[in-house]
Amino acid sequence: MAGYGGDSAIAAWMEANGYSLPEGAPSLAVLRQRGSVYIDATYGPRFKGQATGGYAQERAWPRTGAVVGGSTIPDDVVPVAVEHASYRAAYQEAIAPGSLTSIGSAAGVVKRERVEGAVEMEYFEAKQQDGQPYDPLAPSTATPTIAEIDGMLAPYLVLPMAGLGVWSVGCG
């Protein structure tokens, strides 16, 4: 599998942004792969257009039918912003190994709760893998949202449709 961009490109990006890898960090190729997986898993379903190579395409980009700012992105191009977002995610992985992954939990899932005279609900108590109580904000249980990446990718994402409708109730 290949991550977005190239090793020389991520090295130049890191230098231009004043970043350096910590001692013992994985290779640039490994970090690019992890950053690209994060981008595709987190944002892939919301990217405009469709994967050019269909369901068998390894990465979410390149895409067909993606229009940004009134311009159609060629179906053989990975936008620079997507590459740079994957580099930023790669850097996040380098400085905090494992921070791009999340572990799901049933915490907060309603088992039963009771409201006197009406409804009773109870919630499952979830434990983390280490047996500690589930904390939805703990790095091991929540996929990080990196504002810089959100901003870089915003123009390439399909906006969710707000529920707008007209309701009419008539008599008769």
Same domain membership, residue 50 and residue 95: yes
The pLDDT of residue 145 is 82
Handedness of CA 44, 45, 51, 53 (dihedral sign): positive
Co-location of 25 and 60 in the same domain = yes
What are the CA-CA distances from residue 143 to residues 7, 66, 95, 101 (Å)?
25, 26, 15, 6
Q: What is the pTM of this model?
A: 0.74
In a domain, 63, yes or no: yes
Q: Are residues 152 and 67 in the same domain?
A: yes
Whether residue 95 is found in the same domain as residue 135: no
Q: Are residues 69 and 135 in the same domain?
A: no
Is residue 24 in a domain?
yes
Residues spanned by the domain of 52: 1-101+143-159
Count of domains in the chain? 2
Q: 103-122: per-residue pLDDT in tens?
A: 655 555 555 555 565 555 55
Note whether residue 166 is domain-resident. Answer: no
Residues 122 and 73 placed together within one structural domain of the fold:
no
Could you tell me if residue 40 is inside a domain? yes
Cβ contacts of 119 within 8 Å, gap of 6 or more? 113
Is pLDDT above 70 for 131? no
Q: What are 157's strand-pairing partners?
A: 47
* 172: its two tokens: 């008769």
Determine the pLDDT at residue 167. Answer: 63
Residue with tokens 């123009």: 155
Tens digits of per-residue pLDDT, 1-39? Answer: 689 999 999 999 999 999 999 999 999 999 999 999 999
* pLDDT confidence of residue 101: 83
Residues 62-108 pLDDT 10s: 999 999 999 999 999 999 999 999 999 999 999 999 888 876 555 55
Q: Do 94 and 41 lie in a common domain? A: yes
